[in-house]
């Protein structure tokens, strides 16, 4: 059983205790979870399990207002498509209506299992959450790509680039995929086995300059995820093609990057500046220590798709017309923030909060509320907010993505 499953089960089993704990915690933090307000009681039908996982929906912060719709969903709530070789589950606009610009897939490939050779219309961005795998691709100039990936690595395949993924030893891999189209479904890929099965064998023979007998045993339905022999060494796979490598690697070792670091956390950014192949998607891996917070900010160029890897957090999203809603997150949850919508993410637990921010633009960009205020004439800001100019002069002019800095 995975760590996030244990956490969900424990949360559901101890729902009453968690609600009480959240009430006491919130009272200490000065939020709007009343402990002795007779107007706030729930004597009718309700679901303590969901309430334990979403305390900020049950008893919102006093600063919340209006209805932004749900900006949270979970892979744990969706149908999981299984085969004998692995599984995948997806979060798309069909079950998460807010997620218009991006769709996500969580996939598991045990040792030897293959996500078959395929391509699709949207670009594919990926983060490895567990284990090791081998990825392959060929670009439009028939240049090759074969690489091994491990936990913490990324890959990116542009629209239409054919590719595959295979789990390596000792226990395969698991990963999350993000596509730059909220309507995209994992079931809507172009599969090599499917195309071959729907092409007459005489056409196949003519195309490949092989006898028709070469295609006598082709599968008559798609493979999607299937078991295959373990590959040889990376060097032996590369040696099977004499073509040059793709000009920009589709793999990126995110954890090898020097992070932006504050005393409360780190941010590692992967965009077209350091991951050259990723021309129309970018991402950040954010780590927030207990007591820390991803600062008040917004992203001017793209919606933000989030994936929560570990820890627990609380996000408040601010929109126009005085609307602000708060959501609670735990591992396997997906968050979504529309473009240019203000938000922050607070670590509400005792462990490091770790999550991904993914965008549909090659250039990562965010705007910090603190640095905006600090770099605007202080008297002007003071007139807006009725603050003391001396306090505004203390604000950090540079960006500090995780605070306290």
Query: Tell me: the pLDDT tens digits for 78-103?
Result: 999 999 999 999 999 999 999 999 99
pLDDT tens digits for range 209-243: 999 999 999 999 999 999 999 999 999 999 999 99
Collapsing DSSP to helix, strand or coil, 123 comes out as coil
Provide the 3-class DSSP secondary structure of residue 10: helix
Which value, in Å, is the radius of gyration of the alpha carbons in the chain? 24
The confidence score (pLDDT) of residue 159 equals 98
| CA 288-307-399 angle, 5° bins | 40
**CB distance 193 to 322 below 8 Å:** no
CA distance 60 to 294: 20
**297 annotated ligand-binding residue:** yes
For residues 106-111, average pLDDT: 98
Asked if residue 220 belongs to a known ligand binding site, the reply is no
Confidence (pLDDT) at 10: 44
DSSP single-letter state for residue 229: P
Flag whether 198 is marked binding. Answer: no
- Confidence at residue 12, expressed as pLDDT on a 0 to 100 scale: 44
Structure letter (DSSP) for residue 7: H
Helix (H, G, I), strand (E, B) or coil at 87: strand
Interatomic CA distance for residues 239 and 235, integer angstroms: 6
In this predicted structure, the answer to whether residue 18 has a pLDDT above a threshold of 80 is no
Q: Is residue 151 a known part of a binding site?
A: no
Does position 39 have pLDDT exceeding 70, yes or no?
Answer: yes
Read off the pLDDT band of 371 (50, 70, 90). very high
Supply the DSSP string of 169-234, one letter for each residue.
Answer: TTT-EEEEEEES-TT--GGG-EEHHHHHHTS-HHHHHHHHT--GGGGTT--SS--SEEE-PPP--H
Phi, psi of 210 (to 5 degrees): -130, 160
Q: What is the mean pLDDT of residues 170-184?
A: 98
Which domains are present in the chain? 3-62 (no CATH), 80-251 (2.60.120.10), 366-405 (no CATH)
Q: Known catalytic residue: 186? A: no
82 annotated among ligand-binding-site residues: no
Q: How far is CA 214 from CA 36, 199, 299, 335, in A?
A: 77, 14, 53, 48
Rounded (10°) CA dihedral 313, 318, 323, 327: -10
pLDDT value at residue 24: 40
For the chain, the average pLDDT equals 92
What does the pLDDT read at residue 37?
Answer: 64
124 marked among binding-site residues: yes
Each residue of 278-336: pLDDT tens digit?
Answer: 999 999 999 999 999 999 999 999 999 999 999 999 999 999 999 999 999 999 999 99
384 annotated among ligand-binding-site residues: no
């Amino acid at each position: 059983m995975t760590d996030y499953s244990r956490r969900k089960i424990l949360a559901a089993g101890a729902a009453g205790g968690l609600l009480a704990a959240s009430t006491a915690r919130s009272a200490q933090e000065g939020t709007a979870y009343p402990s002795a307000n007779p107007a706030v009681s729930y004597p009718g039908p309700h679901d303590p399990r969901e309430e334990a996982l979403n305390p900020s929906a049950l008893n919102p912060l006093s600063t919340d207002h209006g209805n932004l719709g749900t900006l949270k969903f979970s892979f744990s709530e969706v149908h999981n498509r299984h085969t004998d070789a692995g599984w995948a589950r997806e979060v798309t606009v069909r079950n998460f209506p807010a997620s218009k610009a991006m769709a996500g897939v969580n996939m598991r490939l045990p040792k030897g299992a293959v996500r078959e050779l395929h391509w699709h219309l949207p670009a594919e961005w990926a983060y490895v959450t567990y284990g090791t795998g081998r990825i392959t691709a060929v670009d439009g100039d028939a240049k090759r790509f074969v690489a091994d990936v491990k936990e913490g690595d990324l890959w990116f395949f542009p629209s239409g680039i054919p590719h595959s993924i295979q789990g390596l030893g000792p226990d395969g891999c698991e990963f999350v995929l993000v596509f730059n189209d909220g309507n995209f479904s994992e079931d809507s890929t172009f599969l090599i086995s499917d195309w071959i099965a729907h092409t007459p064998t005489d056409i196949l023979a003519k195309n490949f300059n092989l006898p028709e007998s070469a295609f006598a045993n082709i599968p008559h339905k798609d493979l999607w995820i299937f078991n295959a022999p373990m590959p040889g060494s990376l060097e032996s796979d590369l040696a099977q093609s004499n073509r040059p490598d793709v000009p920009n690697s589709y793999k990126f070792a995110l954890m090898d990057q020097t992070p932006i670091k504050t005393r409360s956390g780190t941010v590692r950014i992967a965009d077209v500046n350091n991951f050259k192949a990723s021309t129309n998607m970018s991402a950040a891996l954010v780590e927030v220590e207990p007591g820390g917070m991803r600062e008040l900010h917004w992203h001017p160029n793209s919606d933000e798709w989030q994936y929560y890897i570990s820890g627990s957090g609380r996000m408040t999203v601010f929109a126009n017309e005085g609307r602000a809603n708060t959501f609670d997150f735990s591992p396997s949850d997906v968050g979504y923030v529309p473009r240019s919508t203000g938000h922050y993410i607070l670590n509400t637990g005792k462990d490091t909060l770790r999550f991904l921010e993914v965008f549909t633009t090659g250039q990562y960009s965010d705007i910090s509320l603190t640095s905006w205020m600090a770099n605007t004439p202080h008297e002007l800001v003071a007139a807006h907010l009725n603050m003391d100019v001396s306090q505004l002069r203390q604000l950090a002019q540079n960006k500090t993505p995780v605070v306290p800095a």
